[in-house]
Structure 1
């Protein structure tokens, strides 16, 4: 498939609902003070704007209480054109979030590339999508506690 989704022409958005466990960290402790009802209202405003003002078709993945940070769906995949890279989040507990996202991306008929595990071809790479910026021509990757150099290399190799 040769770039059937050119940059800047979006038709879909994938979102995930806010779980009841919102505000807890992936490690199971309390992450920060939150207002669940307010977060859910704000998500409703966001999804409404994406539908009505931007005209996108939304694909909504249901919330899972066991995955408190799963609403931060941008960390799980980086998509450009017809290729999607399933990332490898730094926190082991967040890696389970990828299953539902992978299923949706496959249903959209994207070419799905997996970063894999430490023993695989990714060699200990970690990458979170929120550390990635795409300008339309090039990717910038912020190296952080959640994204390492190897993760940036895997992204570069994927989108050559």
Structure 2
């Protein structure tokens, strides 16, 4: 644990079931060519999702499972629909029109649970939870194809006690958590590849210098955890336990988590079939 850092303690989680429509209509197919090996086995996907849900329950969280909606193929990626800190929530506005239908039931659930719920209504603003990292002290937010300056401004207005800093995310990556993740209090998992190093250090783009906030502009010091596999770095920290990749899928990344995070509990987990539509561990839940 990096000195002086702490993360929120979670008691609840939201997940959402897998619809049939994700097999053919996920937004992921906008970003990559769909191949026969990308066809999702829906039965396996639901078994994988149930194991994921049970892992959250096993860590003591009360998990609300929202039903699937065939009209919103990517609805299992509930992380994108809101940002929650303490008793306050911001319901987001996803960049893709098809995904904006996902937020209504999440808005209702958070309201029914008694949270103070705010919602992005500015039609020029976009923000997705996959672009938002909360370290307990501040927000790092992706400046990406999915989240823009107006969305970050509303996030800052909703949570005025915490600074909000932007980090450029360049295609084909579409969310910040595909490049860096909060692995523990003051510990940032970083992809040990060009895009991940850019998110940690300083990069040039179109003759402008982007000081990457994690190292250069934050008042706080973070410890880096360099993870070798592009798809192995996404992780979740839950009350002293790190949920991270499985050894059989990403052995080198698994070894990094096992050796460098010995002070925490660890749970090996996979999103399984949902990897075929670019899902990561953090995508499939909202914790608060």
State the TM-score bracket (shorter-chain normalisation): 0.7 to 0.9
Selected match of 1:56 from 57, 61, 64: 61
Selected match of 1:41 from 43, 47, 50: 47
Q: Distance in 2 between matches of 1:92 and 1:116?
A: 14
Q: Distance in 1 between matches of 2:43 and 2:121?
A: 36
For the pair 1:93 / 2:94, whether they are aligned, the reply is no
Q: CA 1:83/1:7 → structure 2, altered by over 3 Å: closer, same or farther? A: farther
Q: CA 1:27/1:49 → structure 2, altered by over 3 Å: closer, same or farther? A: closer
Equivalence for 1:128: 128
Equivalence for 2:26: 25
Superposed, 1:79-158 pairs within 5 Å as 79-118=84-123, 124-158=124-158
Aligned length in residues: 149
Coordinate RMSD, CA, aligned: 2.1
Structure (1/2) with the larger strand percentage: 2
Contact 2:89 2:116 in 1 (8 A): yes
Partner SS for 1:145: coil
Which is greater in Rg?
Answer: 2
Unaligned regions of 5+ residues in structure 2, if any? 1-5, 161-288
Runs of 4+ in 1 over 3 A off after TM superposition: 26-32
Unaligned regions of 5+ residues in structure 1, if any? 1-5, 119-123
Q: Distance in 1 between matches of 2:122 and 2:27?
A: 19
- Residue 8 of structure 1: CA displacement? 2.2
Contact 2:7 2:135 in 1 (8 A): no
- Residue 28 of structure 1: CA displacement? 9.7
Q: Distance in 1 between matches of 2:138 and 2:28?
A: 34
